[in-house]
Amino acid sequence: MAAVEAVDPTPSPTLEDTPVNFPDMTPTPNLMAAVTPIPVSGNGSDLLRFVFPTPAPKPISAWRPPLYEAPWAPTRFDHFFFTRPISADEINWPLPNYRYGAPWPDLPDVIHTGIDIEAPEGAPIYAAAPGKVIWTGYGLQGLQENQNDPYGMAVLIQHDFGYEGRRLQTVYAHMSEISVIYGQWVDTSTQLGLVGNTGFTTGPHLHFEVRLSENGWYTTRNPELWLAPPEGWGVMVGQIMGNDALPIPLHPITVVSLEADQKWNMLTYGGSPSIKADRYYYENFVLSDLPAGKYLVEIPYGDKLIEKEIEIFPGRVSYFSMQGDRKFDINPSPKIPASFWESVLSNGTGDVETNTP
Ligand SMILES: [Zn+2]
């Protein structure tokens, strides 16, 4: 699989505490009245070509199931509110080796704040849910009209719904063409534009972010906890800590299917103010799009290899917590005080940060 990761945008220290130049979020009545949502069919096919997240295993199936209809929330802790921004007849799942929280290979302090979807140049990009376009064009990182902005040409949507009293936004970056305008209301699957190679990239792809914030600025969350899974498939979520009960950044974790010849080599989230854990799970590891079934999780710790079996259920999150070689809980109650995790895994509730597309 060709590498299509975004190139390190090297966040400028001067941007760290500076709000993004957001446009005015007040709707413009004339503009709104002039805009008619464009109906676009987003799902041309029920079945997808199956591509494995790591190149090592051989495919056992040429197909993927269709997605659960968003919003998908089988429990009150779930929030799979978004459909995929790339249609079902293209690859529409995260590039496996550069997920949310992953470091840029040569710069471990530069952490990815979204997922990359390896779609070809010119593939249509669709809105992941209804909302209003509150940014189009260059400059999303903070420099309006700046063609060197790492996001390139981007669209930002503020959704018609939020979560736990916070605004929900999605970002679509590196586009070659934008087909919506500022202030336009878009429905799920309204076409926003085309996949491109603008901004800091090494090849055409879509960079997609989910932002959850109180004040309209942004804090990101892992999109793999927000995108509806394929039917019959589930999501693995983990909290990987040391014996001191602190999360371990960039710690290796291997997930092996016990039913198919598949293996995923992952890292826990890197430490960065831009990376935020879910307020229920306080995770530092997510692996979505797993067919239901049994998996073996292998995590080195000291001179030991912690090995545990995790079962994935259709449409559900399977959650585990590891505390070094002392404790491994596959049915934990994630009641660790939020303030503790936020201080460790992120910079707390501050809503203004520099992102890494
Ligand atoms: Zn990216």
Bridge partners (DSSP) of residue 255 are 264, 297
Q: According to the model, what pLDDT value does residue 37 have?
A: 29
Domain limit, last residue, from 173, 194, 225: 225
Measured in Å, residue 97 CA sits from the centre of ligand 1 at 11
Statement to judge: residues 327 and 184 lie in one domain: no
357, part of any domain: no
Q: What is the CATH number of the domain that holds 105?
A: 2.70.70.10
Q: List Cβ neighbours of 34 (8 Å cut-off, separation of 6 or more).
A: none
Neighbouring C-beta atoms of residue 313, cutoff 10 Å:
15
148, part of any domain: yes
Statement to judge: residues 131 and 50 lie in one domain: yes
Measured in Å, residue 110 CA sits from the centre of ligand 1 at 12
Q: According to the model, what pLDDT value does residue 328 have?
A: 94
Statement to judge: residues 75 and 172 lie in one domain: yes
Statement to judge: residues 145 and 294 lie in one domain: no
The 3-state DSSP class for residue 55 equals coil
Q: What is the CATH number of the domain that holds 306?
A: 2.60.40.10
Confidence band (pLDDT; 50, 70, 90) for 29? Answer: very low
Statement to judge: residues 210 and 97 lie in one domain: yes
For 311-349, the pLDDT digits (tens) are: 999 999 999 999 999 999 987 665 555 554 454 444 333
Q: List Cβ neighbours of 329 (8 Å cut-off, separation of 6 or more).
A: 320, 321, 322
Statement to judge: residues 268 and 245 lie in one domain: yes
| Dihedral angle computed from the Cα positions of residues 10, 14, 15 and 20, in that order, rounded to the nearest 10 degrees | -150
319, part of any domain: yes
Q: According to the model, what pLDDT value does residue 248 have?
A: 94
Domain limit, last residue, from 209, 225, 241: 225
Measured in Å, residue 142 CA sits from the centre of ligand 1 at 17
Measured in Å, residue 290 CA sits from the centre of ligand 1 at 21
Statement to judge: residues 115 and 46 lie in one domain: yes
Domain span holding position 266? 233-345
Statement to judge: residues 146 and 295 lie in one domain: no
181, part of any domain: yes
Closest CA to 154 of 205, 223, 84, 215: 205
353, part of any domain: no
Measured in Å, residue 5 CA sits from the centre of ligand 1 at 6
Statement to judge: residues 246 and 215 lie in one domain: no
Measured in Å, residue 205 CA sits from the centre of ligand 1 at 8
Phi, psi at 14, each rounded to 5°: -70, -20
* DSSP notation for 83-150: --SB-TTS--SB-TTS-TTPEETTEEEEE--SEEE-PPTT-EEE-SSSEEEEEEES-TTS-TT-TT-T
6, part of any domain: no
- For the entire predicted model, the pTM comes to 0.78
Cβ contact 225:235 at 8 Å: yes
Measured in Å, residue 244 CA sits from the centre of ligand 1 at 32
Measured in Å, residue 233 CA sits from the centre of ligand 1 at 24
Residue 145 has pLDDT above 90, yes or no: no
Statement to judge: residues 196 and 249 lie in one domain: no
The 3-state DSSP class for residue 286 equals strand
For 186-225, the pLDDT digits (tens) are: 999 899 999 999 998 889 999 999 999 866 566 899 999 9
Q: Where are the alpha helices (DSSP H) in the chain?
A: 29-34, 338-345
Domain count for the chain, please give it: 2
Statement to judge: residues 176 and 302 lie in one domain: no
Measured in Å, residue 93 CA sits from the centre of ligand 1 at 13
1, part of any domain: no
Statement to judge: residues 238 and 221 lie in one domain: no
Confidence band (pLDDT; 50, 70, 90) for 65? Answer: confident
Measured in Å, residue 203 CA sits from the centre of ligand 1 at 11
Measured in Å, residue 34 CA sits from the centre of ligand 1 at 33
Measured in Å, residue 206 CA sits from the centre of ligand 1 at 7
The 3-state DSSP class for residue 237 equals strand
324, part of any domain: yes
Residues with CB under 5 A from ligand 1 (ion): 6, 116, 207, 357
Phi, psi at 310, each rounded to 5°: -125, 130
Domain limit, last residue, from 175, 191, 225: 225
